[in-house]
Structure formats: structure tokens, C-alpha cells
Structure 1
Amino acid sequence: MAVRLSAALANALANAVDDTVNGGPAGGTVKIYTGTQPATADTAVSGTLLATFTMSDPAFGNAASGVITLAGVPLTVAAAATGTAGWFRISDSTGASVLDGSVGTSGNQINLNTTSITSGVNVTITSGTITMPTS
């Protein structure tokens, strides 16, 4: 049987994710990389760093139904390298890894305007959500 969380616990966990991202003196970051997502958020980064976005502080709104939604979107930066976006990592402002996940243009934890990124050209986060499992 699967573990199922109460709505209250799912919201508390989602808000704890936001609190962790907001750790440190400034906003956390979302970094977009090429290649395959590592096995865990504690595994060393792989792939080429394509873009770094600084999130607002707080990074997400309050949880509802176990979901936190990225605040301040759209977020736009000039790309640091050229490649195809494969995954993202979120870190707090001190650089400590918090989580990573899927990136795409629709239906992913972080959605971009394009996954085909060119150095020096603007890339935009159009939406982002982190979801805790519920019952």
C-alpha cells in the first residue's frame, strides 16, 4: 500500500520546503542543467549549467492541497550556455541543495518558455510547482 498524507501534513511539508529554500540571507536559486537528473538532490551536479534564476524571498506561496507555487513568475535571465534543458536544482541562497526535478515547457515542476537554450538569449521560467503526495 502507498503512504498517504493528510492534507494538513502535506501542506506543512510543502511549506517546510519553502522555508528551507528561503534559508540564508537572500533568495534561493533555480539552476537549469543539460542531461539527466542525478539520483538524489545530494548527488553532485551533472550536465552543463544553462541558466541561474534568483527566486524571490519567500520563493513560494503558502501551500494549498500540498502544493506550493513559485512566486514572482515569470522569471527571466540571459542564458549562460547553449544546450537542451534536462533538469533543475533548487538551492538556498548559501548554495545548499534543497531539491531537483523535471523541467520542460508544460506539465513539469519547472516550466520554461523553451528547452532549447542559447547562450546570451533570454530564457524564462513560466511556472513552477512542488507537490507533496496526499491521500
Structure 2
Amino acid sequence: MAQQFSVAVRNARLDAIEAAIGASPKLRFYSGAQPANCAAARTGTLLAELSLPADWMAQAANGAKAFAGSWSGAGAAAAGTGTTIGHFAIMDAAGTTCHHQGKVGATGDGTADMTVDNLNLAQGQAISVTTFTQTDGGA
């Protein structure tokens, strides 16, 4: 039988993730496939870096935690005239340590870990995160 946790425990685990990463982390969008894990070297081209709000995730509720505030920015010079986003990395505030990574999809993509309003990002083009929710297991 699978282990199960109360909603209070699941919420606490999710809130601990935000606390461990810290305030005002960097969200980076890269082309190509994500690395094997967060400790591996970043792969692909850095297409955009967004500075997230100090309190970047809402308080966990019912075993889930959604992004808070507006997560938006613009394409970097390396995006050129348009490059497809492949994955994201949430880095610490200094931008030196990856703490979370995953697949990026267009709004409505149910297989993506995070969705954005436009997957093909060009230099200077605006980009906004439309969905990002973490759900803890063990329900």
C-alpha cells in the first residue's frame, strides 16, 4: 500500500520548497531538453531570465501550491528572431544554483510542468507564465 499523508503535511512539504529556494529567485527559460537533474550543467541556450517576486508562490492549500504575482519578462539577445523554449530552471536569487527544473509548454498543454503564453521566444519579446502549480504526492 502506498504511503499517505495528511493535507497539513503535504502543504508543509510544499511550503518548505519555497523556503529552501528563498526569496526572489531567478526563472530561466532554455531551448532544448532539460538536463538529467538540477545538479547537472545547464543545457541549451538561455532564452530569458525573469526575476520572480520575493514571495513567488502562494501558500499551499489542499496539497497544492500555485505561483503568485506576475511572472513575466522578455527574451534575451540569444533568443534571436525566435527560438522554441524547451525547459525551465528555477535558480536561487544569485542565479548560481538550480533548485527546480521541468518541461515548458504552451497554455493549455496538460503535459507541461509550467505553461507560458508563447513557446517561440524572440529577443525583446514579452513572455508570461500562465500556469505553474506544484502538487504534493501521498494523498
Assess if the C-alpha contact under 8 Å between 1:21 and 1:59 holds in 2. Answer: no
Residue 116 of structure 1, CA deviation = 0.8
CA drift of 1:124 comes to 1.4
Deviations 1:5-57 (A, max 9, x none): 3322211111011112225xxx1011011111111111111001111111111
> What whole-Å deviation, never above 9, does each CA across 1:100-133 have from its counterpart, x for those lacking one?
1111113332210011111121111122112211
Which amino acid in 1 is paired with 2:36?
A: A
Residue 3 to residue 50, structure 1, CA distance change in 2 (3 Å): farther
Aligned residues: 131
User: Could you tell me whether the CA contact under 8 Å between 1:60 and 1:68 is conserved in 2?
Assistant: yes
TM-score (norm 2): 0.85
Distance 2:98 2:5 in 1: 24
Instruction: Name which of 122, 132, 138 aligns with 1:134.
Output: 138
Once the two structures are overlaid, the 10-residue window that deviates more, 3-12 or 43-52, is: 3-12
Identity of aligned residues (%): 31
Aligned pairs for 1:52-131 within 5 A? 52-73=49-70, 75-80=71-76, 81-82=78-79, 83-95=83-95, 96-105=97-106, 106=108, 107=110, 108-131=112-135
Which segments of 5 or more consecutive residues in structure 2 lack a partner in the other structure?
A: none
Amino acid at match of 1:122: A
Check whether the contact 2:2–2:138 (CA below 8 A) recurs between aligned residues: no
Q: Quick check: which has more Rg, 1 or 2? A: 2
Which runs of 5 or more structure 1 residues have no equivalent in the other structure?
A: none
Return the alpha-carbon distance in structure 2 between the equivalents of residues 89 and 43 of structure 1: 12
The TM-score with structure 1 as length reference comes to: 0.87
Cα separation, partners in 2 of 1:2 and 1:38, compared to 1, 3 Å? farther
Q: Which runs of 4+ in 1 moved over 4 A?
A: none
